[in-house]
Amino acid sequence: RNAAKGLGAINYTPDADQVTRRAPLLLAVGPTGGNVVLAPSVATEALRVAFGAESTLATAIPQHGGFGGRTRMTSVKIGDTEIPTEADGSIRIRFSRQQAERRIPAWKILNGDVHRDEILGRIMLIGTSARELADLRATPLNAATPAVDIHAELIEQMLTGGRLIRPHWAPMAEGALILLGGLIIALAVRRLRPLAAFLAAALIVCTQAEASWLAFLRTETLIDPMAPGLSLAATWICAAVVARQRIAKDQGFVRN
């Protein structure tokens, strides 16, 4: 510890399905209700040491209550590099496929088979990939990714300026889409023939999925296509069942 130029946390924060999609740049360390300090992650600290910066600066703004209320982080500044963050100080990683040329087996270095130029001036992370050592994490692209790769992806993303964005208004937009789309589908089922109503519902679902895909490709913005799509499909099914029951009731009335 005394010989180290920096100390960084290696904690990871998986989502509810245990898939790692985000990584913290700073972590709150300290007892509950006590004095809490912000500690850098290993990726943040690696950049600070590489840049020769003395400290890491976090920027936060008040939310929902002005001063004295809760705050949300907006960015972390390391040297002259400012990295936008989400409200909790994390960033979403845009994972790439695993590439063998990014790795150097440790035995090659120990045997002296690696040229000095392959290491000099680079940020090197030492980690394990053996399944038996249980340092594997699930990511959106791979069910068993070495944890060291996640830190490497995070450092690379901070250096290149790449960023995935999940806007704070995204949940409200998705909710509005479910409400508005569901209303349109219900009216379509009530007023149109079954095939036309089905095509209208399919068009709405496909349009919102395509819009989400284009937002990801062109602006790296994450809008969930699954929850609205499933909700709208369920709305069509329920409305179609109700309409079918109404038609059957009307037919029975005519027969009687």
Q: How far apart are CA 233 and CA 182, in angstroms?
A: 9
Residue by residue, DSSP assigns 24-86 as ESEEEES-TTS--EEEEBHHHHHHHHHHT-S-EEEEEEE-SS-TTS-EEEEEEEETTEEEE--
- Maximal C-alpha separation, the chain: 94
**pLDDT tens track for 30-55:** 776 667 788 899 999 999 999 998 88
- Rg for the chain (alpha carbons), in Å? 25
Q: What is the pLDDT of residue 49?
A: 92
Residue for token pair 């027969």: 255
Q: What is the pLDDT of residue 67?
A: 44
The proportion of the chain whose per-residue pLDDT surpasses 90, expressed as a percent, equals: 14
Q: What is the pLDDT of residue 45?
A: 93
Q: What average pLDDT does range 64-72 have in this prediction?
A: 58
Using an 8 Å Cβ cutoff, are 43 and 8 in contact? yes
**pLDDT tens track for 142-180:** 888 899 999 999 999 888 887 788 887 888 888 888 898
pTM for this one? Answer: 0.74
Does the pLDDT of residue 66 top 50, yes or no? no
The rounded Cα 228 to chain-centroid distance in angstroms is 18
- Return the higher-pLDDT residue of 190 and 174: 174
Q: How far apart are CA 26 and CA 86, in angstroms?
A: 11
Q: Kindly report the average pLDDT of the chain as a whole number.
A: 85
**How many other C-beta atoms lie within 10 A of the C-beta of residue 171?**
13
